[in-house]
């Protein structure tokens, strides 16, 4: 469909090895992808404490627990959801359940299959770039996708991200492949629709993009037909007989058929999740019931653009709970009236119940609309902030930290393809290839629609991961064309990319992100990229594996970045005490106490270590201090009883 960008002046021939590499781009992309996935997988397997285990309270644990129940026979997830509609996307849970069913709880198999799924995106995007821009840009896209650190990092986490990236890459491949076809275009549209529906099983934000893609299917054949007419102006027109014979292949009808096929394809998986929710809960929820709640969390009057349960959210949740209680009482009142034969009262209560059920069903939607209407300026400002959070290179952690986990993979530390370099390259490539805009309509709509669908809620690093796919497709021509210009000595054009890349890196530097600055509430002069909780969770995972040295190192780093982080101080003090270094643990906790405002957990742990060292008087004094503020503290009372029986040293 597209050729390499050409210049009128005579060009120096490329070296033979470059020509060979461009001609064998698919093989080179596949080889590099396999090597990167194998090295990263083995690194994670050897070093990452969360390989093969999960921690309670994290999404990984939720999905693994859910998958086990499905594998044991809860096929409709009735027990896990307590008879309610899906709240989490069911895609990854059923994927894990199938693997548990076939291979047992073998995490080597799970991580290995997720590594194999990592082959899909580089190969698919290579094909997309080749069809749009040619073999040279395709090779650049394929290599960058293979080396894209955020993508291969999330592939080895027990979350849905690796599976979703493979599905979304397949969607783009079906869309671009289908626009080249004529007779079978509707088949490609149907396949893209099925994958889009499956992607919604993972995360429902794509529901907002599906209508936009369907609209492109309708108009694209006509645009392609106009392009062909302009390129072949003056050629013989097809006969009227041919037009009658192939009326269903006309651009207008072809576009309509493709749009319908795409929507039908998306409806197939969505109808299954809808049927399940209706069958189990009686509620007509397409995939998950969390959409309105998440929208409110991300757009509440005191929202920050991050995943945070704000005071206003809790206030609204309390009101909704009261509404649920009123509904329950009203249903009981109506049942009593029906038993006593009070027909008029039953009708009156039924009407009132119907109105309250409507309020309950649309509670979050109405609350959000009301808040936005009251303060539209605030909401617009918040949306702009979320837009910057989305495009900034800081990967906002959720369950796992991209920055904390770099220590477990040398490839993550060395890869040049990260968000901060990818976005400027993509925008430069987007500009370079603007003349081929008709061929890129699907990429435009996907990239724009997907970004808006995430910005509409709140920003999390792994939620935006699929946006890297169109960025990688556009980054390919930018790199390919720049290298070509450098080979021919056109340095002024090379300098343009250098300026764009440098400007983009400065603007998108992770430390500028409001999401990163949240980590440094006390000192905005220093912005740590790793959250305090990420240090703690990895340290706990190491401890569970008996890796005390690694756990202590992480906790020491946590206290360097967050000196007042009491949970890390407590955990570190206990680790030192277990190794017979209780005095070192006491010093750590005493710093917390002397700094002021130490919590109950720190005080109780310090009392235990004092007793361990024979300082019973100091231990009893701390416990009495706790009991002054909390006289019924069971732990303090129990320890006080034990310590008074110990000899004072």
Listed range (187-201, 256-270, 342-356, 357-371) with the worst mean pLDDT: 342-356
Question: What is the rounded distance in angstroms from the CA atom of residue 207 to the CA atom of residue 433?
Answer: 28
User: Tell me: the pLDDT tens digits for 408-430?
Assistant: 999 999 999 999 999 999 999 99
Q: Which CA distances in Å does 89 have to 180, 198, 200, 357?
A: 33, 10, 8, 25
Average pLDDT over residues 162-188: 92
Q: State residue 294's pLDDT score.
A: 93
Q: State residue 301's pLDDT score.
A: 93
- Whether 7 has a pLDDT exceeding 50, the answer reads no
Asked if residue 54 lies in contact with residue 64, where contact means CB atoms within 8 angstroms, the answer is: yes
Average pLDDT over residues 578-587: 88
Average pLDDT over residues 625-639: 81
Work out the percent of the chain whose per-residue pLDDT is above 90.
61
Q: State residue 645's pLDDT score.
A: 58
Total number of residues shown for the chain: 649
Listed range (59-68, 180-189, 476-485) with the worst mean pLDDT: 180-189
Fold of 532-643: 1.25.40
Confidence of residue 6 (pLDDT cuts 50, 70, 90): very low
Average pLDDT over residues 479-492: 86
Buried b (16+ CB within 10 A) or exposed e, 634-649: eebeebbeebeeeeee
Confidence of residue 348 (pLDDT cuts 50, 70, 90): confident
Q: State residue 644's pLDDT score.
A: 66
Question: What is the rounded distance in angstroms from the CA atom of residue 163 to the CA atom of residue 499?
Answer: 36
Q: State residue 3's pLDDT score.
A: 45
Q: State residue 534's pLDDT score.
A: 95
CA 456, chain centre distance (Å): 14
Q: State residue 249's pLDDT score.
A: 61
Reduced to 3 states, what is the DSSP secondary structure of residue 295?
Answer: helix
Average pLDDT over residues 565-588: 90
Q: Which residue has the higher pLDDT, 249 or 161?
A: 161
Asked if residue 10 lies in contact with residue 120, where contact means CB atoms within 8 angstroms, the answer is: no
Asked if residue 616 lies in contact with residue 580, where contact means CB atoms within 8 angstroms, the answer is: no
Question: What is the rounded distance in angstroms from the CA atom of residue 1 to the CA atom of residue 472?
Answer: 19
- Whether 8 has a pLDDT exceeding 50, the answer reads no
Average pLDDT over residues 552-570: 92
Tell me the backbone φ, ψ of residue 631, rounded to 5 degrees.
-60, -20
- Whether 221 has a pLDDT exceeding 90, the answer reads no
Average pLDDT over residues 510-521: 88
Average pLDDT over residues 132-146: 96
Listed range (96-105, 317-326, 616-625, 640-649) with the worst mean pLDDT: 640-649
Question: What is the rounded distance in angstroms from the CA atom of residue 178 to the CA atom of residue 183?
Answer: 10
Average pLDDT over residues 380-384: 95
DSSP 465: G
The secondary element (H helix, E strand) that includes residue 317 is: helix 311-339
Provide the angle, in degrees to the nearest 10, between the axes of the packed helices 468-487 and 441-455. 130
Question: What is the rounded distance in angstroms from the CA atom of residue 400 to the CA atom of residue 388?
Answer: 22
Of 122, 104, 112, 207, the closest CA to residue 165 belongs to 122
- Whether 642 has a pLDDT exceeding 50, the answer reads yes
Confidence of residue 127 (pLDDT cuts 50, 70, 90): very high
What residue segments make up the domains of the chain, in order of their start?
Answer: 16-227+249-272+391-507, 302-374, 532-643
Using alpha carbons only, give the angle 155, 102, 266 rounded to the nearest 5 degrees: 60
Q: State residue 525's pLDDT score.
A: 64
Tell me the backbone φ, ψ of residue 597, rounded to 5 degrees.
75, 25
What's the whole-model pTM score?
0.91
Question: What is the rounded distance in angstroms from the CA atom of residue 123 to the CA atom of residue 146?
Answer: 9
> Of the spans 162-166, 312-316, 348-352, 499-503, which averages the highest pLDDT?
162-166
- Whether 608 has a pLDDT exceeding 90, the answer reads no
Confidence of residue 521 (pLDDT cuts 50, 70, 90): low
Confidence of residue 626 (pLDDT cuts 50, 70, 90): confident
Strands of 226-350 (E only): list them.
none
User: Tell me: the pLDDT tens digits for 228-277?
Assistant: 544 444 444 444 444 444 545 677 787 888 999 999 999 999 999 999 99
User: Tell me: the pLDDT tens digits for 316-342?
Assistant: 889 888 888 888 888 888 888 888 877
- Whether 635 has a pLDDT exceeding 60, the answer reads yes
């Amino acid at each position: 469909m597209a050729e390499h960008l050409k210049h009128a002046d005579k060009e120096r021939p490329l070296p033979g090895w470059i020509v060979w590499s461009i001609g064998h781009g698919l093989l080179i992309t596949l080889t590099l992808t396999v090597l990167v996935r194998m090295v990263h997988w083995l690194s994670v397997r050897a070093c990452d404490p969360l390989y093969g285990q999960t921690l309670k309270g994290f999404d990984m644990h939720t999905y693994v627990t859910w998958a086990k129940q499905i594998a044991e026979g809860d096929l409709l997830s009735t027990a896990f959801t307590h008879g309610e509609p899906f709240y989490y996307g069911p895609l990854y849970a059923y994927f894990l359940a199938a693997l548990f069913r076939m291979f047992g709880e073998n995490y080597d198999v799970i991580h290995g299959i997720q590594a194999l799924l990592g082959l899909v995106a580089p190969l698919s995007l290579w094909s997309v770039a080749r069809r749009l821009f040619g073999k040279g840009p395709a090779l650049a896209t394929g290599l960058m996708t293979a080396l894209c650190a955020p993508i291969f990092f999330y592939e080895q986490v027990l979350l849905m991200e690796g599976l979703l990236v493979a599905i979304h890459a397949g969607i783009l491949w079906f869309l671009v492949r289908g626009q080249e076809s004529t007779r079978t275009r509707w088949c490609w549209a149907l396949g893209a629709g099925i994958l889009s529906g499956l992607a919604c099983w993972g995360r429902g934000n794509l529901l907002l993009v599906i209508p936009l893609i369907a609209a492109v299917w309708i108009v694209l054949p006509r645009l392609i037909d106009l392009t062909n007419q302009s390129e072949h102006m003056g050629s013989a027109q097809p006969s009227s007989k041919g037009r009658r014979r192939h009326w269903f292949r006309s651009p207008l009808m072809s576009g309509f058929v493709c749009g319908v096929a795409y929507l039908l394809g998306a409806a197939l998986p969505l109808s299954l999740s809808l049927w399940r929710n209706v069958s189990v809960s009686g509620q007509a929820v397409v995939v998950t019931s969390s959409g309105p709640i998440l929208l409110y969390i991300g757009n509440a009057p005191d929202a920050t653009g991050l995943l945070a349960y704000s005071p206003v959210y809790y206030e609204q949740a309390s009101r909704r709970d009261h509404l649920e209680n009123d509904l329950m009482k009203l249903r009981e009142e109506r049942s009593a009236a029906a038993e006593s034969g009070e027909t008029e009262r039953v009708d009156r209560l039924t009407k009132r119940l119907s109105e309250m059920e409507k309020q309950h069903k649309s509670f979050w939607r109405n609350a959000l609309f009301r808040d936005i209407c009251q303060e539209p300026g605030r909401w617009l400002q918040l949306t702009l902030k979320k837009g910057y959070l989305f495009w900034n290179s800081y990967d906002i952690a959720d369950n796992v930290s991209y920055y904390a986990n770099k220590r477990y993979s040398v490839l993550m530390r060395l890869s040049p393809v990260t968000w901060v370099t990818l976005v400027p390259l993509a925008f430069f490539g987007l500009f370079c290839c603007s003349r081929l805009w008709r061929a890129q309509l699907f990429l435009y709509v996907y990239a724009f629609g997907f970004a808006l669908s995430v910005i509409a809620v709140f920003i999390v690093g792994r939620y935006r991961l699929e946006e890297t796919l169109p960025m990688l497709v556009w980054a390919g021509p930018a790199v390919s064309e720049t290298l070509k210009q450098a080979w021919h000595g056109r340095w002024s054009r090379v300098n343009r990319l250098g300026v764009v890349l440098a400007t983009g890196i400065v603007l998108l530097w992770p430390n500028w992100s409001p999401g990163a600055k949240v980590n440094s509430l006390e000192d905005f002069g220093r912005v740590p990229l790793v959250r305090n909780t990420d240090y703690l969770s990895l340290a706990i995972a190491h401890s569970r594996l008996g890796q005390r040295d690694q756990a202590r190192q992480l906790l020491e780093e946590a206290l360097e970045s967050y000196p007042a982080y009491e949970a890390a101080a407590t955990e570190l003090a206990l680790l030192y005490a277990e190794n017979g270094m209780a005095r070192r643990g006491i010093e750590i906790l005493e710093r917390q106490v002397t700094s002021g405002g130490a919590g109950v957990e720190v005080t109780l742990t310090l009392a235990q270590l004092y007793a361990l060292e024979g300082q019973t008087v100091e231990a009893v004094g701390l416990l009495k201090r706790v009991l002054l503020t909390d006289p019924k503290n069971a732990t303090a009372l129990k320890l006080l009883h034990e310590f008074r029986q110990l000899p004072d040293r």
